[in-house]
Every structure is written in C-alpha cells, then in structure tokens.
C-alpha cells in the first residue's frame, strides 16, 4: 500500500524512494500525470519540483503554459504542507491562488518552497488552537534552469483540524 507520509520521509535520503514517491504521486494525482511534475529534492521543510519543458506543457507559442506553472506552484506548496503537518490531524485544501507571470518559460522550470518551525508555529499551530480553521499564504517562486524568474505564486491553503470538518452525509 502507498503511504505518502512514510514515502516522503524515506525520499529525503533515498533516490530510489524519491522515484517511488513520484511514481505514487502520479497515480494519486492523475491530473498531474501528463505534465510530468516531479519532486527533484525534498528536505525536512522544503521541496523542489520540476515542470518539464515538453510538448504537453506548451502554450500556443511553445512556452510553458500559465496553468501548468500554477499547477506546479500548488503541488509544491501542498507537498511541503503535507510533509510538515500531520495529515492525520489536519485537512489541507487550497482556498485560492494568485499568480504573477514575469518571464516566458522556454526550458525546464523549477518551483521551490520551504517553511520554518517559527512560520509553522505562528501561522498554523498557534492560530488553529483558537480557531476552527486558518488560511495561510504560501509564496512560491518558479525559475527556469537558466535562473530566469518565471512566476511568483501565492497559494492560499485552508488548514483545519479533522475534528472540525463538517461534511454532508
């Protein structure tokens, strides 16, 4: 059985487990499969992903598609939150995103996002103790392999304790 939390931890130190994690994520998130988004590096509180320059990711002028760049931004921030917050304790769902596009992508692009213990404490852990839910802004920057700054994404995630989640029967 594919257990993302265990795979995330093992992928930090093993290329084999990183490959297995990427394989599993492509199946868990089928929307991302044709884009080839992969984690290239994962640490305790950071993730670096690749959005490959390939035909299925092109826009009409053979640049990286704006929606694909937004998708890799969402994916990257979501993986960091899932790897730093206990998914058994918290429900994490995207509330909204804002994208600023700076430069046309004409080669592989990389998204990087990280958090600190202080950020987690101040933005998530302490506030959620007093509220039903919190919304955090995760700013992620995407650069191409030449270092050009392609996008800045602000991905807003709602984080809620599973005990506070209400669903219709």
Residue in the structure block whose two tokens are 């950020």: 119
Angle made by CA atoms 95, 88, 31, in degrees to the nearest 5: 50
pLDDT at 106: 97
Domain 4-164, CATH:
3.10.129.10
Q: pLDDT tens digit string along 42-81?
A: 999 999 999 999 999 999 999 999 999 999 999 999 999 9
Would you say 161 and 134 are in contact if contact means Cβ atoms under 8 Å apart?
Answer: no
pLDDT at 43: 93
Residue in the structure block whose two tokens are 């101040």: 122
Tokens representing 85? 């917050």
Kindly report the backbone phi and psi dihedral angles of residue 13, in degrees, each rounded to the nearest multiple of 5, phi listed first: -125, 0
Q: pLDDT tens digit string along 123-152?
A: 999 999 899 999 999 999 999 999 999 999
Residue 68: HSE in the Cβ half-sphere, 13 Å Cα cutoff: 28
């Amino acid at each position: 059985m594919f257990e993302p939390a265990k795979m995330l931890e093992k992928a930090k130190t093993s290329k084999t487990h990183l490959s297995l994690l990427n394989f599993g994520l492509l199946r868990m998130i089928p929307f991302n499969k044709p884009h080839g988004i992969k984690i290239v590096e994962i640490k305790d509180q950071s993730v670096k992903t690749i959005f490959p320059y390939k035909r299925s990711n092109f826009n009409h002028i053979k640049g990286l598609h704006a929606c694909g760049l937004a998708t890799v931004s969402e994916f990257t921030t979501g993986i960091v939150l899932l790897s730093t917050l206990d998914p058994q304790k918290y429900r994490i769902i995207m509330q909204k995103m804002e994208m600023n596009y700076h430069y046309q992508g004409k080669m592989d692009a990389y998204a990087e996002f990280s958090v600190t213990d202080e950020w987690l404490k101040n933005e998530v852990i302490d506030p959620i103790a007093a509220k039903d839910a919190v919304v955090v802004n995760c700013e992620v920057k995407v650069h191409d392999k030449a270092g050009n700054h392609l996008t800045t994404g602000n991905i807003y995630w709602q984080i809620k304790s599973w005990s506070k989640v209400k669903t219709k029967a």
